[in-house]
Amino acid sequence: MKENRIVIIGAGASGIIAALMAAKKTDCKILLFEKNYILGRKILSTGSGKCNLSNQNISPDNYNLNSRAFLKKVFSKVKPKEILNLFTAAGLYLKTEADGRIFPRCMNAQEVVDTLSRELQKPNIEIHTLTEITGIIKKEHGFTIKTQTVKPQWDKESFKPETKIFDCEKVILACGGKSYPRIGGGDAGYKLTRFLDLKISNLSCAIVPLITDEKWPAGLSGVRCDVLLSAFLKDKQIGKSSGELLFTDYGISGPATLDISRDIIQALKTGKVDCRINFLPELSLKEIDAFLKERLKKMSTSSKKAPLEIPFERKNTANKSVSSNISRQKFLTGQAGYFLNGIFGDKISKLILIKSGIEENLPLSEAGPDFMEKLIKNITAFSFRVSEGKSFEHAMATSGGAELSQINPETFEVKGHKGLYLVGELLDIDGDSGGYNLHFAWTSGFLAGVSAGKD
């Protein structure tokens, strides 16, 4: 076995696959360095701990990058199926959701990391955790690498960092992006590329929750609903996405928000961004109009009836039972405050009413012609303004990075730097949410590993 042949910096998604693929091609020593205590820390947090590791519909169109041709070459060199086969061959049973997102069948990211860790048990792979690469020098043949041990969290006082310097023939930089510094994201990779004189484009957050100008979302914090979310810059639509939206104490998050956050972040650089929520995207305006008119007719007639006896009551506490009586009576007395309950949850119903300027205790029998007009407007185009995105602390991907013009798409080797490879989120490419970022990380690691493993 030749000594110190291939060094991989970062044991995240791209670095682990690079190590595995290189090990399939060579019996030279492969050194995998990770500054965290464990491998694949970020993988554990993906897909809310379930790891949305790929998508059935992988295409260059799902990525934000300068050159689609680059990704076309990448995906023609390694077909998505080949990546999935790596996991299934290693014993991970996968499942595809109706929307195309692919997860481990057990919906547990830990199983993905465990499966990969088992695969890494090869005689020529050496893993060094709690070790950060702090410098790279390119020599005439190969590279000199500087390492420094990292203080473990549990070590309160006695820690003295150790530094080492050694030579290697090939280096794969798989340090990831800036996002989520608490689990390994940061500047480290970009700093290392400076030693090598590589070009880095501007970095910004992608797939990030958004902060709204208005403070009302705080009152709905934790509420989720299926919507169509559209974003506008100076009245021109810049993006739309459908799916689950989550209200938070600072604004909005959830898949529908994250999916168009990249477009919104870019647009915010040039002006204010207005958003509109359609709370009933599955119905046309005409259908909503007919549906609400019918509902109004029924509910305003019910106001003439005496409140009904409650046929069932909540069991838990006396108080709950009383409040359930009260709401049901009010509902039957046909007040505007309860007109939307049952279509939406209570908080969203109230929000739409307030935005529409409709008094809660307005008897539905007295609802004027503009009642329906205002409601339909705010059900289908509830408007608010986004002030900014959350920081890299909350961003799930980094937009920008090492420029792709420097990279060979078939091997991920840096042009003019023999033996140097850049992979994963460190590159100037970011995917939509839905498994596309991990898919790119696996794929780029795959190609770099295969190439580096060849003599």
Ligand X SMILES: Cc1cc2nc3c(=O)[nH]c(=O)nc-3n(C[C@H](O)[C@H](O)[C@H](O)COP(=O)(O)OP(=O)(O)OC[C@H]3O[C@@H](n4cnc5c(N)ncnc54)[C@H](O)[C@@H]3O)c2cc1C
Q: Which residues bind ligand X (CB under 6 A)?
A: 9-15, 33-36, 41-42, 45-47, 52, 132-133, 174-176, 179-180, 184-185, 188-189, 396-397, 424-426, 435-438, 441
Q: Which residues contact 438 (CB under 8 A, 6 or more apart)?
A: 13, 43, 46, 51, 52, 53, 54
Least distance (Å) between residue 255 CB and ligand X: 10
Least distance (Å) between residue 339 CB and ligand X: 38
Q: Helices 436-453 & 80-89, crossing angle to 10 degrees? A: 80
Nearer to ligand X, 95 or 234 (CB): 95
Least distance (Å) between residue 309 CB and ligand X: 50
Least distance (Å) between residue 162 CB and ligand X: 14
Residues for the chain: how many in total? 455
Which among 88, 2, 1, 6 has a CA at the least distance from the CA of 449? 6
Q: Which residues contact 447 (CB under 8 A, 6 or more apart)?
A: 21, 74, 77, 78, 410, 411, 412, 423
Nearer to ligand X, 47 or 337 (CB): 47
Least distance (Å) between residue 430 CB and ligand X: 8
The H-or-E segment that residue 247 falls in is strand 236-247
Least distance (Å) between residue 286 CB and ligand X: 38
Q: Report the b/e string of 109-128 with b at 16+ CB within 10 A.
A: bebbbebbeebbeeebbebb
Q: How many CA atoms lie within 13 A of 49 on its CB side?
A: 0
Is the distance from CB of 450 to CB of 19 less than 8 angstroms? no
Rounded Cα distance between 178 and 188, Å, is 9
Nearer to ligand X, 14 or 335 (CB): 14
Sort residue 288 into left (φ over 0), alpha (ψ -120 to 50) or beta.
Answer: alpha
Least distance (Å) between residue 27 CB and ligand X: 24
Nearer to ligand X, 150 or 285 (CB): 150
Nearer to ligand X, 52 or 253 (CB): 52
Rounded Cα distance between 338 and 334, Å, is 7
Least distance (Å) between residue 446 CB and ligand X: 12
User: Environment class of residue 210 by beta-carbon count within 10 Å: exposed (0-12), middle (13-18) or buried (19+)?
Assistant: buried
Residue with tokens 């023939």: 169
Q: Which residues contact 157 (CB under 8 A, 6 or more apart)?
A: none
Nearer to ligand X, 334 or 449 (CB): 449
Least distance (Å) between residue 79 CB and ligand X: 17
Rounded Cα distance between 23 and 446, Å, is 11
Nearer to ligand X, 127 or 351 (CB): 127
Nearer to ligand X, 180 or 446 (CB): 180
Which among 230, 183, 182, 173 has a CA at the least distance from the CA of 43? 183
Measured from each CB, the residue nearest to ligand X is 12
Rounded Cα distance between 165 and 429, Å, is 32
Nearer to ligand X, 163 or 284 (CB): 163
Rounded Cα distance between 379 and 375, Å, is 6
Least distance (Å) between residue 98 CB and ligand X: 17
Nearer to ligand X, 400 or 424 (CB): 424
Residue 282 amino acid letter:
E
